[in-house]
Chains A and B, each alone.
Chain A
Amino acid sequence: MSKRAIFVETKEGVIKRAIFGVISGARSEGSELVAFVLDGKGKEYQSELQEYGITTIVDITADGISEVYDPEVYTGVIVEAMKKFECTEFVGLTSALGKDLLPRVAAALDAPALLDCVSIDCNEQTVMKSQYTGKTQAKMKLEGECLVYGVRPNAISATPAPAEATVVSYVPSFKSCGNMVIKEIKASTNKGVDLTEAEVIVAGGRGTGSTENFKILQELADTLGAALGASRAAVDADFAPMSMQVGQTGKTVSPSLYIACGISGAIQHLAGMKTAKVVVAINKDDQAPIFKKCDYGIVGDLLEVVPEITAAIKK
């Protein structure tokens, strides 16, 4: 029976919700799912993880391993744990962390890897993923003794499949060679939820008009527990920082609800939010291309409409 390792990404002692989608996508007949936990809380996560079909939880603990991501340490101990527990596949989330960790593990194992997949079939060894900045989608096949899969956050829905999991502790021997040292972490000015993983996003474009007006969007985002995004035009106009940019040269997002405010809908922006499940567009210009790509459109001034939406949700 082949063993498939799942990287359990956590934040402040809580499993990221999108991980349950990853586990659901990774299940297949005849394979055992092994969860790698690196924050030392394997025991606490047991009931949640077994609810989705995990049968072994490996609590990887040692000096120097913490929830704060260290690229070399994480890669080293995961590669070691894969060998120790005889896992031939590694599956994770293509989050900000996953975009760094998954290809490192793949490179260390010289394993084929496909990242940011919107669906995976580990039995067939195939995935669906975007190519040509979202203008096409490719069904791709991986071939090799050891494979790495990365799943786009929120692309696969979580479906429970209860199993019984045992928790084992593992102390790896990996020592960092010190070729790369994290000196400092500069905190972000962005509030709240990470954009690439957010389930709801409120985004502003050039039509927002100013940094000041972005506060109106922030209020809606706060009310919805959403992340705030921006179009390239808004970033270029300095209304919002570059880390908030959604689109081809920014972030690719896949929320269940995307509210585009004052965004015209350039092809480069659409490339970054095409797989959002429900798109709402609010724009003054009834000819804006975004209206052809949305589920619900409102022709109107966002400065008037958005505060009313915030108020209506609060009710």
Chain B
Amino acid sequence: MRIFVCIKQVPDTAENIAIQGGVGIDESVKWVMNPYDEYAVEEAIRLKESVGDGEVIVISVGSGSTMSTIRTAIAMGADRGVLITTDEKPDQRVIAKAIAKIIQDEEDGDLVFCGKQSADSEGMQTPFRIAALLDMPVTTNVIAFENSEETVVVESEVEGGARQVIEMKKPCVVAATKGLNEPRYPKLPAIMKAKKKEVKEIALDSLNLDSQTNSMSIVELSYPPEKPEGKMVSGESPQELAQNLVSLLKEEAKVL
């Protein structure tokens, strides 16, 4: 069984983000694996472990520093990696084309795992694009996964917290969300061993994609408007506080 996992390196979500040069950010922050991708890596490794054989291949697109995130995935239990290198910031369309090309060239993939969205660009579309390019079915927001011979059965959270149970023919793309599993922390010996495993570096430029030009680009990055200091509601008793709040919401904020 050959399982691909697509991952992205993003700034740690606990970091503050400082805008630089109008369209970029100060990149001297801590970079980590995109949180949703951790669930994807974990599920791929669990699947390989339960089947008893197979190969988990992680793929990422980024600059040379992305290597550390690929190594993290390998330390968790992936077998090897492919890093598509670029110093540019390709958009989701270009990223999906590059990843699909690698998966096609590797041949015989049974499954592709991704995170449902990235914590930096919040694009929410790469898994669908990879699936369309590879002509595979895809489900996002996956919180339960079960593998069988020809198909997989997944549960996807839909409106109002309901769940759709979907059966997909393999090969297919599964986009993970929180709740699918509890990602493991790599142990020190595994981290050491991961450094020796194969990670192929391929330049994005060498893939000969039909288009490598971004069609979605940042014009300007800014900070969201901050709320002015709030008003503390006054009152001597819970009842009085509640009444004063309700009149403020009715008369001042006009939301009731």
Q: Please determine whether A313 and B218 come into contact, CB atoms closer than 8 angstroms.
A: no
- In the complex, A257→B164 CA distance in Å? 30
- In the complex, A71→B25 CA distance in Å? 36
Q: How large is the interface on A (under 10, 10 to 19, 20 to 34, 35 or more residues)?
A: 35 or more
- In the complex, A296→B244 CA distance in Å? 10
Q: Is A185 part of the binding interface, using a Cβ–Cβ cutoff of 8 Å?
A: yes
| Smallest CB separation, B236 vs chain A (Å) | 11
Stretch at the interface among A54-62, A130-138, A164-172: A130-138
| Smallest CB separation, A155 vs chain B (Å) | 12
Knowing A131-B120, A298-B245, A313-B246 are in contact, say whether A244-B161 is a contact too (CB < 8 A).
Answer: yes
Question: Which residues of chain A are within 8 angstroms of B215 by Cβ–Cβ distance?
Answer: 112, 142-144
- In the complex, A293→B229 CA distance in Å? 7
Q: Please determine whether A241 and B13 come into contact, CB atoms closer than 8 angstroms.
A: no
Q: Please determine whether B141 and A100 come into contact, CB atoms closer than 8 angstroms.
A: yes
Q: Is B216 part of the binding interface, using a Cβ–Cβ cutoff of 8 Å?
A: yes
- In the complex, A96→B163 CA distance in Å? 11
Q: Please determine whether A182 and B17 come into contact, CB atoms closer than 8 angstroms.
A: no
Question: Which residues of chain A are within 8 angstroms of B139 by Cβ–Cβ distance?
Answer: 71, 180
Q: Is B110 part of the binding interface, using a Cβ–Cβ cutoff of 8 Å?
A: no
- In the complex, A312→B248 CA distance in Å? 12
Interface SS of chain B: helix, strand, loop or mixed? Answer: mixed
Partner of A138, one of B158, B220, B235: B220
Question: Which residues of chain A are within 8 angstroms of B230 by Cβ–Cβ distance?
Answer: 279, 281, 291-297
Which residues, 155 to 181 on B, are CB-close (under 8 Å) to A? 155-169, 172, 178-179
Stretch at the interface among B48-56, B73-81, B127-135: B127-135
Question: Which residues of chain A are within 8 angstroms of B188 by Cβ–Cβ distance?
Answer: none
Q: Please determine whether B169 and A296 come into contact, CB atoms closer than 8 angstroms.
A: no
Partner of A183, one of B166, B178, B227: B166
Q: Please determine whether B161 and A188 come into contact, CB atoms closer than 8 angstroms.
A: yes
Question: Which residues of chain B are within 8 angstroms of A110 by Cβ–Cβ distance?
Answer: 93, 129, 132
Q: Please determine whether B166 and A181 come into contact, CB atoms closer than 8 angstroms.
A: yes
- The listed residue with most B CB atoms (<10 A of its CB), out of A126, A133, A195, is A133
Q: Is A95 part of the binding interface, using a Cβ–Cβ cutoff of 8 Å?
A: yes
Q: Please determine whether B132 and A107 come into contact, CB atoms closer than 8 angstroms.
A: yes
Q: Is A248 part of the binding interface, using a Cβ–Cβ cutoff of 8 Å?
A: yes
Q: Is B238 part of the binding interface, using a Cβ–Cβ cutoff of 8 Å?
A: yes
Q: Is A301 part of the binding interface, using a Cβ–Cβ cutoff of 8 Å?
A: yes
Q: Please determine whether A182 and B246 come into contact, CB atoms closer than 8 angstroms.
A: no
Which residues, 202 to 236 on B, are CB-close (under 8 Å) to A? 215-224, 227, 229-233, 235
| Interface, chain A (partner B; CB < 8 A) | 69, 71-72, 94-97, 99-100, 103-104, 106-108, 110, 112-116, 126, 129-144, 178-190, 192-195, 200, 224, 241-245, 248-250, 256-257, 267-268, 271, 274-275, 277-281, 291-301, 304-305, 308-309, 311-313
